[in-house]
Each structure stands twice: as structure tokens, then as C-alpha cells.
Amino acid sequence: MRVVAPCLAGLLLCCASSSKGPGGAAPASSSPAAPAGPANEASAREFVRKTNEDLLRLSIRSNTADWIKNTYITDDTERVAAAANDELLGYTASAVKSAARWNGAQLDPDTARMLYLLRTSSSLAAPSDPARRLELTTLAARLEGLYGKGKYCRVGKCRDLEDLSDLIGKSRDPKELLEAWTGWHSIAREMRPLYARFVTLANEGAREIGFADSGAMWRAAYDVPPESFPVEMDRLWGQVKPLYDDLHCYVRARLQEKYGKELVKDDAPIPAHLLGNMWAQEWSKIYPLVEPYPDAAQIDVTAAMVQMGLTPEKMVQLGVGFFTSIGFPNLPRSFWVRSLFQKPRDRDVVCHASAWDIDTADDVRLKMCIKIEEEDLVTIHHEVGHIYYDLAYAQQPFLFRGGANDAFHEAIGDTIALSVTPTYLRRLHFIEREPHDEHGLIDVQLKEALDRVAFLPFGLLIDRWRWDVFSGKVPEDRYNAAWWELRRRYQGVAPPVERSEADFDPGAKYHVPANVPYSRYFLARILQFQFHRALCKAMGFKGPLHACTIDHNVVAGERLWKMLSLGASKPWQDALEAMTGEREMDAGAMLEYFAPLQKWLSEQNRGRRCGF
């Protein structure tokens, strides 16, 4: 996940330290008043010039303080963050309203696009009333703080998300798994009334700048009418759903062999605590339970990494090394000095992996509590991809310093991760040999699909839930019921124990209390394969798509850098065309990549009772 000036880039809330006036309230920042005179092209250019300067200044302060809040969680850092975010949100809200005077005016393309991005690229719009705006930012900081400090305590022993996730991923004892799952989800109950109030205030801010609610504001950021965006998501989901259904059917059958049909029933959703991940969003941790051919492919990368004595910093060096091998520049020295690679022992931090662009220039950082395991190696490649995207467009005006859309930012790191093939892993000495027969290929592809394919419906449903919450279709007294209805419908996953409206299970997923839109992750899983196919074609690769790696290929690197350097200066359709020659997102590349696995799964599922 990537972080930079979220109020403008549509990502996390970023907050900055600021001096306080009488009574403890943050002083109002200079309002971006529209220039006097006619609403013409010259006045619009002057407005966006001044707004770019102001937002850059505010975002640097904001990102710096939010880094402190995430890496040193205290009541004080939360308060400072809330006050500073109030200043940034207040300025942004005022700028959006001032920009309305050029609605319908004939403007040059760059100015028109900056005004569009100013209005649509925020993940949070604040009410104009100062007291309600400060209440909103305080709630935002409080919700994220509750998540970051969350612990499950029993018999005098407390465990945080890292500890509980380790248990979920490694234990095969249903009772232990259930306790870890219910323990973590219990930390979200306190968030429920706070979140309901947050929704009310966020919607108020969205309506003030012309949107029906916050969900409509999020959807408007995709260069299509807001009402068209869910239709596009459904189209893409329709392409990949048969592959997911085949994977779900196979995994459920293998889990039945392990746990029995009393726990894992036919024709029913899979209990969420059995899939190796706290949110059942990715399933690779249960690969040993579902591995098709245990003797075919030796792909225990984690064991090799531990045996080699890798450190967190060395793992990051490997990730950066991939990018420099395709012609990208070295990261600045400050990256290695200011990043957080390990969980501190003396304080609470938000361990959720994220890439940070502090000054939208060259102060880039990684925040991650790295473990010596394969999953974290892949995550590092992903996060470093965000950082190089940030550096590629650093020369653009501030409002263009973002991805073509937020999914592009997520997709770049994932595209690179697709090149972490057995060929690449063998070059790093993590495996002794590459699988050369069909059995080895199926093992490798199934392991990949447990992450990339299993994630798809989860990536789709989180914002479906929030869109309905923001619109009022799902009222507060149905928050949890609606959440599990969607998870059963899309994922075929059910809670392991009965849940009620005393619970707030959406809050146990970071992106909900942190107000991070999630559709980007679904779209990124589609785009990464489309990008990967384009890069492989550019370098002249002739083999099957799943065998291609762009490691050490500067031709692919040049194609990638050219697209990254555009930032948000062009609609995503133009950026997609520059990269792939296509103007429509298409899941066909993902299906091409997993074609061998899908054929095999269909054969394995013959005669089974699939569906949920």
C-alpha cells in the first residue's frame, strides 16, 4: 500500500504537526481564494499554480506528522495528526469550492485536468464548519489508532495482530484458529459508534462539494461517470469468477479432507478462520494443506531465506535490486536511514506495510515490520514499486503527482511481483531448480492463485459494503449483517461463529478504520497481468506468460518508466494505452497466465459439488 498526501491522492489520511491558536484549535490556513476578475483560462492557471504550491507545502507537513503517528502511536501524536489534517482538509475543501467558478469554462487540458483531480482525488471531504471538520479528523485519527493499538488479551497475556496472524497462518488446530480469529475481531467493537459518526460527517463534506455521498466521490475519481464504475467492476468480475469458483471448490474439498465435513460442509461457504489469513483474503498460508504434488517442486522459499541468514534490510536490498536491474535509479540514501524495517520493541506502531512519499520529491520511505518469509519478500517488491512510481513522476506539478488512477499505483508493484518467477528465485539461490514438468507448474501456479485469485472477491466487496453504508442503503443497525451477506455472496466465506450487531467485523480490516478506498486492489489484480503481458511483449518474450520475468531487461524497464513518469497528468485510459496499446481494462491476461491451472482445476473438480 502506498501513502502520499492522501487527501489529494485518494489514499490514507495524512496529518501534519501545526501550531495551535487559542483554545487548542488549529489556525485556519490561507484560503485558496479564486483570483479576482473573469473566470477565464488565465485566472484558472494562476489558481492551480497557487494551489499546487500550497498543497505541496501542506502535504509535506502532513506526511511528516502522519509518519510519526504511525510509527509512534500515542494520544499526543493522534491529537497532533488530527489538528494538522484539519488544516489540510480545510484548505482542500476551500480550494474545491473556489475551483467551481470555472465549471464549464474553456480551459487548456492540463489546467482542466488539475481542477478535475482537485475535486475527485480525495478519499475524505471535510465539512466547512470548523468544529465539525475537527471532529471528523479527530475521529479519523482515533479509528486508525484503535486499530494500530489493537490487542487481544486473555489470562494476562496480550497478543497483537502480528502474533495472531502468525497463529492463523501456521496453526492447524481449529480451536486455536477460532480463538485467534474471534480475539482479533473483538478489537473492532469499540469502533462501531465512532465509524457511524465518521460516515455522517464524511458524507456532509462530500455533499458540500457536489457529491451524493462519499462513495460517489470515490467512484468519480476513475475518469468515468460514478454510476458506470460499479458496472465496470462487475464486468471484470464476470471474466474471472469462473476461475475463482474452480479454486474455491478445490480448496474446500481439500480442507474437508483435513477438518472433516462437519466443519467444512458441502455446498456451503468455507469458515473464515481456516484459510490461513485473518480476513480470508489470501490463502497461500494453507498451501501445505492443498498442495497437489508435494514431491514435484521444491518451492519452500521461506526455509531457504532463513537458512541463508537474510535480514530485513537485505530483503529490501533484494527488492530494490530488481528495479535497478531494469534500469531504474538507486534509491536515495535517506530511504535507508529513515525507513522502518522492523517492529520496535518499545512502542506501538502500525505494522501494516506501506510506502511513503513524504515530500513528493525524494524523501521516500518504507514502513513494514518485516519477517523473514516469502510473503514479505513479495510484499517488499510491491512496496518498492510504489516508491519508484513516486520518484518517476516527482517532476510533475503537485496535482499530477499520483497514479493514473489509484489502481495503477497498486498494480505496478504487483506487476513486478509477477516477475518473481522460479527463474528469478533460482538466480537468488532460494530454490535449487525450476519445475520443468506439468506437476511442478501446477504446484507453482496454485500457490500463486491462492493469493492473486483468492483475493479478487474480497477486493471487490469491501467498497461494495462501504458504498452502501455511505449511501444509507445499509443503516448502522445492519453493518455486520450486510458485511457477511457480501462475504458469503462473493467469497463463499462465512464467520466461524455466530456474529451480531454488537460486533463490527469490517473494522477488523485496516482499510475500513483508516478510510482507504479498496476498489484499487481489485483493479490492480487485473491490471498487473495486463501490464505484465505488455512488458513481456515489449521485450520480445515468446513463451507462455507465466514463465516471463522482466528481471534485468532494460527494454521493459524503459517502457514501464515512460508510463510511470506520466503520473496523473493524463486519464488512465491514455496511460494504459501508452503501456499496453489498449484503452480498456481486461482480465484476459490473467486468464491467459493461469490457463494451465484452470484446466487442471476443472479436471480435479469433476464430480464434486461446487458452489456456495
Domain boundary assignment for the chain: 12-32+40-148+190-220, 301-434+519-581
Which residue's entry shows cell 470548523? 130
**195 sits in which H/E element:** helix 191-208
Query: Does position 116 have pLDDT exceeding 90, yes or no?
Result: yes
Mean pLDDT of 287-295: 92
In contact, 304 and 431? CB cutoff 8 Å: yes
> What pLDDT is recorded for position 32?
60
**Max Cα–Cα distance, the chain, nearest Å:** 76
Q: What band does 423 get if pLDDT is binned at 50, 70 and 90?
A: confident
Q: Which residues contact 122 (CB under 8 A, 6 or more apart)?
A: 6, 7, 8, 10, 92, 217
At position 527, the amino acid (one-letter code) is: L
Are 94 and 58 within 8 A, CB to CB?
no
Does residue 467 register a pLDDT over 70? yes
Tell me the mean pLDDT in the region 449-469: 97
How far apart (Å, rounded) are the C-alpha atoms in residues 137 and 62?
13
Residue 38: predicted pLDDT: 74
Give the percent of the chain with pLDDT over 90: 75
Which of 317, 349, 351, 352 lies closest to 331 in space, CA to CA? 317
Cα→Cα distances 209→48, 110, 397, Å = 17, 21, 23
Predicted confidence (pLDDT) per residue in 233-244, tens digit: 999 999 999 999
Question: Are 316 and 380 within 8 A, CB to CB?
Answer: yes
Structure confidence at residue 36 (pLDDT): 64
* Cα–Cα distance, 455 to 393 (Å, whole number): 29
Closest Cα to residue 113, out of 396, 399, 395? 399
pLDDT in tens, 353-374: 999 999 878 899 999 999 999 8
The answer to whether the CB of 415 falls within 8 A of the CB of 385 is yes
Q: In the predicted model, is pLDDT for residue 461 greater than 60?
A: yes
Confidence of residue 27 (pLDDT cuts 50, 70, 90): very low
| Contact by Cβ (8 Å): 206, 123 | no
Which one, of 180, 531, 524, 148, lies nearest residue 343 by Cα? 148
Residue 88's pLDDT band, with cuts at 50, 70 and 90, is: confident
pLDDT at 126: 87
In this prediction, residue 568 carries a pLDDT of: 96
Task: Give the pLDDT score at 580.
Answer: 95
State the residue for C-alpha cell 482479533. 184
Mean pLDDT of 296-300: 68
Q: Comparing C-alpha atoms, which of 410, 351, 407 is closest to residue 382?
A: 410
Rounded mean pLDDT of 328-332? 96
Which pLDDT band holds residue 18 (cuts at 50, 70, 90)? very low
Segment 97-109, tens digit of pLDDT: 899 899 888 999 9
Residue (of 595, 523, 530, 522) closest to 560 by Cα position: 530
| Other beta carbons within 10 Å of 501 | 12
Please determine, for residue 13, whether its predicted confidence score (pLDDT) is greater than 70.
Answer: no
User: pLDDT tens across 378-406, in order?
Assistant: 899 999 999 999 999 999 999 999 999 99
Task: Tell me the one-letter amino acid at 464.
Answer: R
Q: What is the 3-state secondary structure (H, E, C) of 460-527?
A: HHHHHHHHHHHHCCCCHHHHHHHHHHHHHHHHCEECCCCCCCCCCHHHHCCCCCCCCCCHHHHHHHHH
- Whether the per-residue pLDDT at 15 is higher than 60: the answer is no
Helix 229-259 with 438-452: angle, nearest 10 deg: 120
Polymer length in residues for the chain: 612
pLDDT of residue 25 exceeding 60, the answer is: no
Residue 3 · residue 354 · CB < 8 Å: yes
pLDDT for res 11 = 32
* 147 and 514 Cβ atoms separated by less than 8 Å: yes
pLDDT digits (tens, 9 = 90+) for 57-69: 998 888 888 999 9
CA dist 171 and 182 (Å) reads 15
Distance CA 480, CA 504 (A): 6
Q: Please state, in angstroms and rounded to a whole number, the distance separating the CA atoms of residues 492 and 488.
A: 4
Query: Could you tell me the CA-to-CA distances from 152 to 117, 124, 242, 243, 312 in Å, in that order?
Result: 41, 30, 38, 36, 27
Q: What is the pTM of this model?
A: 0.86
Provide the percentage of residues in the chain whose pLDDT is more than 70: 93
Is residue 293 within 8 A of residue 522, CB to CB? The reply is no
Smallest CA-to-CA distance from 45 within 353, 397, 343 is with: 397
Say whether pLDDT at 412 is over 70: yes
pLDDT of residue 39: 77
CB 122 within 8 A of CB 8: yes
Tell me the per-residue pLDDT of 553-565, one tens digit each, with 9 for 90 and over: 999 999 999 999 9
Mean pLDDT of the chain: 90
Beta carbons of 236 and 595 less than 8 angstroms apart: no
In DSSP terms, 357 is beta-bridged to: 364
| Residue corresponding to grid cell 479454486 | 247
3-state secondary structure of 390: helix
Q: Is residue 545 a contact partner of residue 531, using CB atoms and an 8 Å limit?
A: no
